[in-house]
Homo-oligomer: A and B are copies of this chain.
Amino acid sequence: MSYYQKLEQHARKLSRLGHLSAICGWDQAAMMPSGGAEARSEAMAELAVIAHELSTADYLADWFEQAEQEQLSDAERISLAALKRQWMMHNILPADLVEQKSLLGSQCEHAWRTQRKENDWEGFKQNLIPVVNLARKEAAIRSKATGLSLYDALLDLYEPGMTSEVLDGIFADVKSWLPQLIQDVQNKQKNEAVLPLTGTFPIVEQNALSLDVMKLLNFDFNHGRLDISTHPFCGGVSTDVRITTRYDETDFTSALMGVIHETGHARYEQGLPHQWRDLPVGQARSMGIHESQSLFFEMQLSRNIDFARKLAPLAQKTFNRETDSALTAENLNTINTRVKPGFIRVDADEVTYPAHVILRYEIERDLIEGNIEVDDIPEIWDRKMQAYLGIDTKGNFKDGCMQDIHWTDGSFGYFPSYTLGAMYAAQFMAAMKKVVDVQAVITSGDLSPIFTWLETNIWSKGCTLSTDELVKQATGETLNPRFFQQHLMARYL
């Protein structure tokens, strides 16, 4: 067996442990009763330590040195580089920090489940402070190893090649036109009639509608499933993708658009190159590209009148409301493209969403860089919400900085990916439209040509190209945020 093959075998072993961790993590969020939390945290931490020990085994340095001398195919050489990056990332952290991160993260997340309901910032803070302190320690270690700044050393985990300097430029640009755009769109929409949804939409029927729409989006139910959790996510493994949603009985569109979003993530996972299933090179390119797929599904594909014309009859039938004027395609599309600054990022519309991301990015960057403390978060949160969206969050922690599960597990550096994803999605749609008649395809009800384009240009590439190269091969140029701005102006003004 060559050293490269030994490294592949080693990576498969790690990937299999990751499989178990992913399924148990899904279970923790979607199935586990709360009394099981303590023992589960301990078990997950134990697995994390074992995976870390494997990832940092002494012999790997030699294996990499040897493998780099071997005759390898181009594909193997790319795979070896991905393996090496993964190895270096893992080797930076000491085992006790990894274990602590898993343990503190599980505790913080679990407590958050009840603390959020109770708007208990003081309680939540007690768990978040050690989580942030550990993240700072992690950033310091990674910074020293990579030569990147504290925050960039974390950002690099999710968006290789991206820096906060570049991001600050992009976000400064967005901040230069977004507040005005939000104003203009609101003024335009002020006089547009929208019929609010009335009555209740039973969860069991919403679930049936979700499954119908997942079928329309060619979700592979032989390799995945849909369940319920407090915070919607896409988890599991590429052969068995677990997506979740949460249902609001008074507003079915919220869960439905969430399901469409997660289905975008899920199809990316299901479409990854299976010949490299357990290897880094067979994984998704980056968080931003992952988010580009969920936002392609949710924003580019679904929030338009053509898609609404497929959705409306399904909704009318499922809820037995064939004569409800609120459930016409036109009204549903009006609801789905309504712009209204609000508290909750995951419920935010396409136009105000970047403001939420920029706010979170600026706070987490300053937290990690040590410019602010956990205690400062609510005040800064409120100030920025006022500035970007004109919203008051004073004392309302549960809809403010405690609104979602993010940060509880000590992972910082990936908020920018959400808005990078929106930008990539807009750029992919513009490129796709040159070769696919997207409107006609949606109207036909067989959306396969859309997914074939994504599969060919994005999914099947796995991690074989750099983000820049992937985007360039798919669209003819690297990231160009103007596509996003043009998309928003075309759709909303």
Chain A residues near B (Cβ < 8 Å)? 12-13, 16-17, 19-21, 23-24, 27, 31-36, 38-40, 42-44, 46-47, 50, 220-225, 236-237, 239-240, 277
Contact = CB atoms under 8 A, between A and B. Distances in A.
A255 to B, nearest CB: 20
A13 B20 CA distance: 16
B47 A17 contact: yes
A225 B31 contact: yes
Contacts of A33: 221-225, 240
Contact of A36 (B20, B24, B36, B237): B237
Contacts of A221: 33
Contacts of A19: 39-40, 42-43
15 contacts: A13-B46, A19-B39, A19-B40, A20-B20, A20-B24, A20-B47, A23-B23, A23-B27, A24-B24, A33-B225, A33-B240, A35-B222, A35-B239, A39-B237, A50-B50
A43 B16 contact: yes
- Which secondary structure dominates chain A's binding surface? helix
A44 B24 CA distance: 12
Contact of A24 (B23, B220, B277): B23
A239 B12 CA distance: 31
A10 to B, nearest CB: 12
Contacts of A277: 39
Nearest to A36: B240
A35 B224 CA distance: 8
A20 B20 CA distance: 7
Nearest to A238: B39
B20 A42 contact: no
Given A24-B23, A27-B27, A17 B46 contact: yes
A23 B44 CA distance: 11
A31 B222 CA distance: 12
Q: Which 8 A-B pairs have the closest CB atoms?
A: A36-B240, A35-B222, A19-B43, A16-B46, A16-B43, A35-B223, A39-B239, A36-B239
Nearest to A32: B240
A16 to B, nearest CB: 4
Nearest to A19: B43
Contacts of A43: 16-17, 19-20
A457 B27 CA distance: 34
B23 A222 contact: no
Contacts of A31: 31, 225
A240 B39 contact: yes
Given A33-B222, A36-B223, A36-B240, 5 more contacts: A23-B40, A31-B225, A32-B240, A35-B240, A39-B237
A363 to B, nearest CB: 34
Nearest to A274: B39
A150 B293 CA distance: 57
Contacts of A24: 20, 23-24
Contact of A222 (B34, B223, B224, B239): B34
Contacts of A27: 23, 27
Contacts of A50: 17, 50
A70 to B, nearest CB: 25
The CB with the most chain B CB atoms within 10 A, among A20, A32, A236, A277, is that of A20
A142 B39 CA distance: 32
Contacts of A39: 16, 19, 237, 239-240, 277
The CB with the most chain B CB atoms within 10 A, among A32, A36, A223, is that of A36
A16 B32 contact: no
Nearest to A225: B33
A27 B240 CA distance: 11
Contacts of A239: 35-36, 38-40
Contacts of A36: 223, 236-237, 239-240
B23 A42 contact: no
A13 B48 CA distance: 12
Contacts of A44: 20
A16 B99 CA distance: 14
Contacts of A12: 42
The CB with the most chain B CB atoms within 10 A, among A32, A38, A225, is that of A32
A181 to B, nearest CB: 43
Nearest to A28: B23
Nearest to A204: B204
Nearest to A45: B16
A12 B13 CA distance: 22
A129 B270 CA distance: 34
Nearest to A42: B16
